[in-house]
Structure 1
Amino acid sequence: MALNDKKQTDKNHTFFQSFRHALEGLRTTLADEKNFKRHLVIATFVLLLGFLFGVSKLDWLWLIVVIFLVLIAELWNTAVEYLIDLLVAKHYDPLAKKVKDVSAAIVLVAAFLAAIVGVIIFMPYILNFLNL
């Protein structure tokens, strides 16, 4: 949808139009979704820990991959929630609940993966820091 034309129904015609819409999606998610903000705060903390401990390039790669995986999962979950709300007009529907629950589970699984990778990467640094 064009930023100046809220009634766009055809495809984007330029890369920049598509890019603006993607940025609008990020802005909307940041404005509306507390969990996305929480994930960003946790990601910032993880990145600060990475700098503090001087993790290896390979560790950085894994950290960045799982951080973005969680953010992508949260964006996906948000899109699914909006779509389901649109389709059921915010009336309760048991199948809609299942779809939303599965979508939320995607985020949960991504977050578990990120936590496991974080423990694997940071545990040796933390134990070394604590002289254990």
Structure 2
Amino acid sequence: MLMASNVKPPQTGKNHNFWQSFKHAWTGLRFTFQHEQNFKFHVLIGLLVIIFSAVIQVNTTEWLWLIGVIFIVLIAELWNTAVEYIVDLLVAKQYDPLAKHIKDVSAAIVLVAAALAVIVGLIIFIPYFWQLLF
């Protein structure tokens, strides 16, 4: 006679409550951080910007802009990662020109978000650098 297993089968249905959804989201965030170099890079840059902003004491409005663009870049990178996995799943490791275009456009989302972050960073930080130099 076989003993009953305490192992639950993988979830295939909808989440039933907030905490279940939160757990899956946290798992996805951890997975992305562990497996995606670009995500790690963006997190590192975001942390450096936060530390530098604290040192030079940016004002509240500048904090809002900086935190906003940092999160936009991270969201874009998460989106790009999800799209890449979906495309890879659908094409089953076969080359498809349309799949390449989808992945390229998804990567472009990250590029545009990062460009926005750089522009906002320059607008905020150049006056601080200017004051330090002169």
TM-score by length of 2: 0.93
> Which residue identity does 1:65 align to in structure 2?
G
Show structure 1 runs of 5+ residues with no match. none
How many aligned positions are there?
Answer: 128
Matched, 1:75 2:82: no
Question: Which structure is larger by alpha-carbon Rg, 1 or 2?
Answer: 2
Show structure 2 runs of 5+ residues with no match. 1-6
Local SS of the residue matching 2:50: helix
- Cα distance in 1 for residues equivalent to 2:20 and 2:68: 27
Partner of 1:38: 41
CA RMSD of aligned residues (A): 1.0
- Cα distance in 2 for residues equivalent to 1:61 and 1:27: 25
Q: 1:120 to 1:97 in 2, by over 3 A?
A: same
- Cα distance in 1 for residues equivalent to 2:9 and 2:100: 29
Matched, 1:21 2:21: no
Q: Indicate the percent of aligned positions where both proteins have the same amino acid.
A: 62
- Cα distance in 2 for residues equivalent to 1:92 and 1:128: 53
Matched, 1:94 2:93: no
Partner of 1:56: 59
Deviation of residue 20 (structure 1)?
0.3
Partner of 2:10: 7
2:109 to 96, 106, 109: 106
Deviation of residue 7 (structure 1)?
2.5
Query: After the TM superposition, which segments of 4 or more aligned residues of structure 1 sit over 6 Å from their partners?
Result: none
Partner of 2:4: none
Local SS of the residue matching 1:92: coil
- Cα distance in 2 for residues equivalent to 1:7 and 1:70: 31
TM-score by length of 1: 0.94
